[in-house]
Structure 1
């Protein structure tokens, strides 16, 4: 296969890369944004709860701008 669309699971991405190293891998926008939100609210990152929404909004704007063709 030349192309895969997958979730944001590193184990899945690594397995696909091992099996088909020349294939292009795409991530669904939802899963990228979901992973960013989970990272922001994770306790070990010490992000204040009131800042999470501001950071997420900024990330979404940058992400959308950099993924528009």
Structure 2
């Protein structure tokens, strides 16, 4: 299962990216999973929720600072 986190709440371009991501994966025969954090939380709390969701399904992210 592939997953994406996004700033989809209240951000039209993020909604378009989410929909494009889901459509592309569906066309490839992969079932997408898109996480949207609760609307009642501040941005950093929403980010924490997104990271918790990613870690719970076993996806690890490495950030490279250029």
TM-score, normalized by the shorter chain, greater than 0.5: no
TM-score, reference length from structure 2: 0.36
TM-score, reference length from structure 1: 0.35
Q: Which has the larger radius of gyration?
A: 1
Larger RCO (CA within 8 A; separation ≥ 6): 2
